[in-house]
A = this chain, B = another copy of it.
């Protein structure tokens, strides 16, 4: 079947093609030209018709599907959604875009996960086995804190892989990291905390999420050895949220003596350390240290999720907390919901138990390491005077720039070359001493893509005086 579609693209436009296609289609749907239920051409067909690469059309369609304009159905193609263009509320934990409607050939912004490599077949195998075998109890209600089997498997796994010292009853399965953080914030508030220290620079969405819980965030500067514990000590705050294994976004590791000092601080003030171990699966062996939690299970709340290694859509996260704190967390949780999907929890337990998670992470780790080395090489070659901080791990590179570079001008110049990225300022809370920087996420861009986009970024860098 060959469907036709009259689509006009402006040859003068400097907008990326995918964005132009998306906007044109959206307009046709909004003014009623494309009626709900109408079937539109396949991405392959449209690409041929308007003479662009198919991936560009795929990107435009996917965006329109996500926005609720289009609908794809296996076997019946792509149709205009019944209620095209329904606005959806965004979340504070999905980083906001600094400028509206950003769409470009290369998206090096942080906040996305590599879902292209989601192990579909392996996940289907685990889910199928679980649904086929689930006992009557497993199909019924589980404790809000999680399915017992999953909590046990997670406890064993976190101990084996990250040295986490915990018991299943002190491990909770949460709806992603977000819910874990929300629960901890609520408990801290209930215990009289009014502030929470965070890393500066750090995750802006996380800061907003914490603020919306009612806690005030206090930024603590980060240097080459991680969080400045000396400044934390002077802050009068009694709880801190940090990424000690691989600081986000700088990629530095909290130095051994700072780990000790941080724990001493927590004991001294009777406070808590929230260890966000979000990308520990991607720690290169040269960067690997056991979780901070292993040094002080009585003071550290360990938090992780499957969003980076599997897919955000699973909404699977976990907390390991000191027993006395976990009791409060469970109490709060029981007033919010009565747990996450039991079948998905069981499938995840099986995914761990069969070794599929270890295998998958090893593959991703190798690939990400290759990408990081590519970024390192390209930054050296194309951005003279720039310097990549941190070790060999993670999902993004923090690139420090010479002091005279204007971050904003550089980002604009990059955008004109179809490279979307963010500057250090986006992640900075109050620390005014930091040099300009770029944060380049390679979570969703392959080595080939990096070898194309970073030279383009280099051109922008030269234009911005680099």
**CB-nearest residue of chain B to A343:** B313
B145→A118 contact, CB < 8 A: no
Residues in B whose Cβ lies below 8 Å from that of A204: none
B311→A176 contact, CB < 8 A: no
Selecting from A293-301, A334-342, A365-373, A423-431, the interface stretch reads A334-342
Smallest CB separation, A132 vs chain B (Å):
6
Known: A63-B137, A120-B131, A152-B82. A90 touches B313 (CB 8 A): no
A65 lies within 8 A of chain B by Cβ: yes
Partner of A336, one of B127, B168, B182: B182
Known: A82-B152, A89-B330. A137 touches B341 (CB 8 A): no
A344 to B212, CA, bound (A): 28
Residues in B whose Cβ lies below 8 Å from that of A149: 71
Partner of A135, one of B62, B134, B213, B341: B62
Of residues 324 through 375 on chain A, the ones whose CB sits less than 8 Å from some CB of chain B are 330-331, 334-344
A464 lies within 8 A of chain B by Cβ: no
A91→B338 contact, CB < 8 A: yes
A68 lies within 8 A of chain B by Cβ: yes
A92 lies within 8 A of chain B by Cβ: yes
Partner of A315, one of B137, B169, B340: B340
Selecting from A5-13, A17-25, A109-117, A232-240, the interface stretch reads A109-117
A144 to B140, CA, bound (A): 24
Smallest CB separation, A276 vs chain B (Å):
15
A336→B336 contact, CB < 8 A: yes
Residues in B whose Cβ lies below 8 Å from that of A123: 131
Partner of A344, one of B112, B141, B344: B344
A136 to B313, CA, bound (A): 10
Total interface residues on A, CB under 8 Å, equals: 83
A145 to B90, CA, bound (A): 9
B152→A338 contact, CB < 8 A: no
Residues in B whose Cβ lies below 8 Å from that of A256: none
A420 lies within 8 A of chain B by Cβ: no
**CB-nearest residue of chain B to A213:** B335
A72 lies within 8 A of chain B by Cβ: yes
Known: A89-B144, A89-B145, A168-B83. A94 touches B338 (CB 8 A): yes
A133→B74 contact, CB < 8 A: yes
Smallest CB separation, A93 vs chain B (Å):
6
Smallest CB separation, A16 vs chain B (Å):
17
**CB-nearest residue of chain B to A174:** B337
Q: List 25 A-B contacts (CB under 8 A).
A: A62-B135, A62-B137, A65-B135, A66-B148, A68-B152, A72-B135, A74-B129, A82-B156, A86-B169, A88-B143, A92-B335, A94-B338, A115-B136, A115-B139, A123-B131, A128-B128, A140-B313, A142-B313, A174-B337, A175-B338, A182-B335, A212-B334, A315-B339, A315-B342, A340-B340
User: Which A residues lie at the B interface, using CB under 8 A?
Assistant: 62-63, 65-68, 71-72, 74, 81-83, 86-94, 112-113, 115-116, 118, 120, 123-124, 127-129, 131-145, 148-149, 151-152, 156, 167-169, 174-176, 178-179, 182, 209, 212-213, 311-316, 330-331, 334-344
The 5 A-B pairs at the shortest CB distance, nearest first, are namely: A313-B342, A66-B137, A88-B143, A115-B139, A179-B337
New A-B pairs, 6, CB < 8 Å, besides A116-B136, A120-B132, A140-B311: A66-B137, A83-B168, A118-B139, A120-B131, A337-B337, A341-B344
